[in-house]
A and B are shown apart, each in its own frame.
Chain A
Amino acid sequence: MNKSTIIDTLCTYCGSSCDSDLVRINSNIFCCYGCATLSDVVARMKNAPLDVSLKYKQFDLEENFNQLVDYQNDNLYRLGISLPSIHCSSCIELLEDLPSFYDGILGSEVNFEHRRCTVTASKDLPLSFIAQLLEDIGYPPQISISQKFKEAEKTTNKNNLLKLAVAGFCFGNIMLFSMPHYFGLQVANDIFFTRLFSSLSVALSLPVVFYAGRDYLISAYKALAASKSHLNIPIAIGILSLFGWSLYEIFSGVGIGYLDSLAGLVFFLLIGKWFQHKVYDQVSYHRGIQEFIPLVVRKQANTGTSWARLDSLKKGDTIVVKNEEIIPANGILSQGSGLIDYAFITGEALAEQAKIGTKVYAGGCQKAGEISVTLNEQPSIDKLWSTWSNQSVKKDFSNRWTDHISKYFTIAVITIAVIAAIAWSFTSIEQALFVFSSVLIVACPCALALSAPFTFGNILRVYSRNNLFMKDADAISVLSEIQHIVLDKTGTLTEKAALEVDFVGKILDLELARSIKSLASQSNHPLSEIITQHLGEYELQTTTDFEEKVGQGIQGIVNNRVIKLGAKEWVQANNKITGTVVYVSVDGEIVGHFKVSASYRRGLKSTLSRLGKILKLSVLSGDNDGEREALTDIFPSFNRLKFNLKPRQKAIEISQIQRIEKVLMIGDGLNDSSAIEQGDLGMALTENLNGFYPGSDAVLLSDSLVKLPAFIELARYSKKILKWSLIFSLLYNITGVTFAVSGLLTPIIAAILMPLSSVSVVLLDTLLVRMKSKKLNLI
């Protein structure tokens, strides 16, 4: 190995090797933000003052604070904060070192697996301050009231683990007590031991049925009460008939029952459940509007600015919005110059310029300096939210596939059991009862119940490794049925905040480029700024007679030449070019134009053509149709290609498609949220997991958009896997039922058949998913 190449990629701070997303600061290379910040910040940061951002200020409101903290007394409070950017041991080191940065922080402990940090702080230090501190050192926190939902999910899985342990413990021990009977050992004939073993088995089976298996019984009862079919119904029948018949056999002294099979059944079922619930913690689907629009604002009064709740503001109040902050309410710009990015709201890619007196709208992000906004109406979050969201749409992914089968399954099993019992009742009533319960016992669809969790659980894992995070396993079965994909344009098909500039016309010589840049730099119109940036590094020349006409263009004299930049009419151009175009004329002669176009994501063309082969594609955009040609160039046969759509119209378009096809909606911003909710499956595309994805059922990191065809193929394949598992488990059941109907189901046959079917189905599913994923290059 060549040593020097290794050194190049070693982290300056911690010395571990860096992967592709390394961080460069002042010619030093760091493996993550943890190391970068640590080496730089530790000395500098101690007790430094912070400028707390609007978005964190709302955590200090008493009602929010009380819900967020895990514990508080008069002096201190403690809460767990989700920090998705935790990456390596340096991050742990830095975050656990927080108490030495700030006197108010009393302790901090990182949970690496869940990417969380539990912070204990004194009451003097507001929560917003801690949040800002975490963001400043490179760990933007995910604190939200909805985050608390996730913690409830976590305790469920903790309970699942305990139930699994109890079931496993009882399963093992009951099996040991049944061993003598399996092998016909001498102790099996000893009355003392038979009684001892039987009573111990009964004692051990009680926690299995009433603690570990409780959920199955309860949910089966609930499904029955609501007269719905559910896979848990045949399972509950199996559990109860196993338990009941075993008790009968043991107490009447006929035999030892099937308690080992019962415990094994519950044990395997719980493994499946635990596996499926072991989900990722980075993604939160419960975020609401309040995490996007700040609830607390800087109110400007004669005495200065102070923090105020948004709902306490009235018409006419003035608020201050700083750089990169979200405008919380509709109003009129009263101070400063605004450059407001509405991309998230409308899908419009170019930031809008706002002068004093211009109307600004809630949800826009201020991009240049500080502005003051005078409210022209009483702010109302609910009203605001209703423009984007269509909350009446509630999706419920029930596991249709297995529920559907379980209906027929239950009916078939009970019919077979009854017919067999009637047939045997001519021989003996006792034998008829035995056969009846044997059929119910052996037909328990354990393998069927395991196949879905393991197939979907494995797929979820493959997806999350490739940065697609599904809300739950059932969303996969919806994905497999999708026939039509609807895409948003800005931010989804195009890169966020990346525009391509091309100059078309005469070759720009250095001198002219320099002059154009000098003129463009005089204006702060977004297009001028884009052109200024595009032209690169030149020393600016003096511009005289500068003139700017809003909506038209700019002109000025640079280097003794009259240069005009702007719209067609402004420069008197004849040829019409579609898209966003800035014409250039020098001394009245047109030399060409700048074409500003969205930059489409890499690999989009091949991705779309691959998708186009298996399903229909549409694009619904809130932006103007300047990109129509570029889009049809990338993919010629869009089913629908519509522009200038309002958020609600997108949802309506989707509901029209839904009359005939199942729709997957992929979007990125708030303007897509009602469409995302409307789709049979809503997928949010995001640059990082810190984003905001209301109403979505899945979150996809933008780099993985190219893998979408593979994701869909895998989801579709899951149906095939489930079919194979069904055939497999039916074969087992037919074998078992044959034994049962002929009255031959002995404890040893039950004890072999049940685990064998479960284990083989689990292995089959896992293998098939892995093989397919490898084929699709997903693992």
Chain B
Amino acid sequence: MKIIGLLISLSMILAIGFLFAFYKAVKTGQFDDLESPAMRVLDTKKSKTNHQN
């Protein structure tokens, strides 16, 4: 049963890690714009030049 104590501490560390990752993502602006990156993929010109390169 005591093993649950270890598992819980591990899961907490993991979860706090993810929370911190989310914090970083919000602070660096990853949630500022959820639409334009998807549209940028469709940019015909840039993709053409990429092929040539």
A→B interface (CB under 8 Å): 14, 88-89, 92-93, 96-97, 110-114, 158, 161-162, 165-166, 169, 173, 187, 190, 192-193, 196, 200
A165:B39 contact, CB within 8 angstroms: no
A residues less than 8 Å from B4 (CB atoms): 187, 193
Determine whether B19 belongs to the interface, using a CB cutoff of 8 Å to chain A: yes
Which A residues touch B12, using CB under 8 A?
A: 173, 200
Contact B33 A111 (CB under 8 A): yes
Whether A97 touches B45, Cβ cut-off 8 Å, given contacts A113-B32, A173-B12, is yes
How long is the Cα–Cα vector from A180 to B1 in the complex, in angstroms?
A: 14
Q: Interface 1/0s, chain B 25-42, versus A by CB < 8 A?
A: 011000111111001101
- Interface residues contributed by chain B, number (CB under 8 Å): 24
Q: A169-B19, A192-B2 are in contact. Are A112 and B26 (CB under 8 A)?
A: no
B29 to chain A minimum Cβ distance, whole angstroms, is: 9
**Chain A: CB-nearest residue to B31:** A161
A interface SS class = helix
Chain A residues positioned under 8 Å from B33 (CB to CB) = 111-114
Tell me the bound Cα distance from A200 to B9 in angstroms: 10
Give complex CA distance A192, B12 in Å: 18
Residue in A96, A112, A162 whose CB lies within 8 Å of B35: A112
Q: Is the CB of B32 within 8 A of A169?
A: no
Contact between chains at B26 and A89 (CB < 8 Å) = no
> In the assembly, what is the distance between CA of A93 and CA of B46, in Å?
9
Q: Once the chains bind, are A196 and B8 in contact (CB under 8 Å)?
A: yes
Verify A162–B23 contact, CB threshold 8 A: yes
CA distance A192 to B6 in the complex (A): 13
Q: Can you list 23 contacts pairing A with B, beta carbon distance less than 8 Å?
A: A88-B39, A92-B36, A92-B40, A93-B45, A96-B40, A96-B43, A111-B32, A111-B36, A112-B35, A113-B32, A158-B27, A158-B31, A161-B26, A162-B26, A165-B22, A165-B23, A169-B15, A187-B1, A190-B1, A192-B2, A192-B5, A193-B5, A200-B12
A92 proximity list for chain B (CB < 8 A): 36, 39-40, 43
* CA A89 to CA B22, docked complex, whole Å: 28
- Are B32 and A114 in contact, with the CB atoms below 8 A? yes
8 A-B pairs with least C-beta separation: A112-B36, A89-B39, A111-B33, A112-B35, A113-B33, A113-B35, A169-B19, A93-B43
**A158-B26 contact in complex given A93-B45, A112-B36, A113-B34, C-beta closer than 8 Å:** yes
- Give Cα distance in the complex from A165 to B20, angstroms: 10
Please indicate the chain A residues that have their CB under 8 angstroms from the CB of B8 in the complex.
196, 200
The smallest beta-carbon distance between A517 and chain B, in angstroms, is: 49
Inside 8 A of A187's CB, which chain B residues have their CB? 1, 4
Q: How far is the CB of B4 from chain A (nearest CB, A)?
A: 7
Report the nearest A residue to B37, measured CB to CB: A112
- Tell me the minimal C-beta distance from A658 to chain B in angstroms: 42
Contacts of B42 in A (CB 8 A): 89
Do A113 and B36 have beta carbons less than 8 Å apart? yes
State in angstroms the CA–CA spacing of A1 and B5 once bound together: 64
B2 to chain A: closest residue by CB: A192
Q: Which residue of A lies closest to B36 (CB)?
A: A112
Measured CA separation A111–B32 after assembly (Å): 8
Question: Chain A contacts of B36 at CB under 8 A?
Answer: 92, 110-113
Q: How far is the CA of A200 from the CA of B1 in the complex (A)?
A: 18
On whether the beta carbons of B43 and A89 are closer than 8 Å, the reply is yes
Nearest A residue (CB) for B23? A162
Q: Which residues of B contact A96 (CB under 8 A)?
A: 40, 43
Asked if A112 and B22 sit within 8 Å, CB to CB, the answer is: no
Q: Are B19 and A166 in contact (CB under 8 A)?
A: yes
CB of A114, distance to nearest CB on chain B (Å): 7
* 4 further contact pairs, Cβ within 8 A, besides A14-B44, A111-B36: A89-B43, A158-B26, A192-B2, A196-B8
